[in-house]
Structure 1
Amino acid sequence: MANNKSAEKRILINERNRLQNRYYKGSVRTLTKMFLQDLEVYKTSQDPNDKQKAQTRLNLVYSLIDKGAKRKVFPKNMAARKKSKLASKLKMV
């Protein structure tokens, strides 16, 4: 239990940051899985609309990764590595 005002404030700030980190990490994980599912659909169908859908999903993932990196949820190089890996998967299909 906190013994002074600054310790109470740190507890609140840590909880806020924990929830923020959880939101960004979970959302990136979920959108990445959806992107990979879209890629699998495109591999089987070879329909340009499916590729466009995967590209749109990739843009959403990029956006969340960049926002997370800006708020220091993800380290800068880790964010770049994730984006690069996802882009190469789309390119290989």
Structure 2
Amino acid sequence: MANHKSALKRIRTSEKKRVINKYQHKTTRNAIKAIRMATDKADAQAKLNDVFSMIDKLAKKNIIHSNKASNLKSKLTKHVASL
């Protein structure tokens, strides 16, 4: 257990950030899955910009690596184009 007041605060803030990051990451993964399961091209195209925004926010906050964000966006674009 932490001995210093600042260490206790760090534990509290880290836990809050962990929960928020987990929520945002899971929400993005679900949105990506929705695009991959979509059969209608217009529907998938409409969701694409929102998902790109979510992915960019995760990369900006270092929740996911920037290269992973680029790969996801590229693969999703190819998938939607092939519908």
Same fold? TM cut 0.5: yes
**The structure with more radius of gyration:** 1
Unpaired stretches in structure 1, ≥5 consecutive residues: 43-50
RMSD, matched Cα: 1.2
1:70 aligns with 2:48: no
Unpaired stretches in structure 2, ≥5 consecutive residues: none
Count the aligned residue pairs: 83
1:23 aligns with 2:13: no
Q: Identify which of structures 1 and 2 has the higher relative contact order when contacts are C-alpha pairs closer than 8 Å and 6+ apart.
A: 2
TM-score scaled to structure 1, two decimals?
0.80
**Aligned-pair identity (%):** 40
1:86 aligns with 2:76: yes
Supply the AA of the counterpart residue of 1:21: N
TM-score scaled to structure 2, two decimals?
0.88
Following TM superposition, the consecutive aligned residue runs of length 4 or more in structure 1 with deviations greater than 2 angstroms are: none
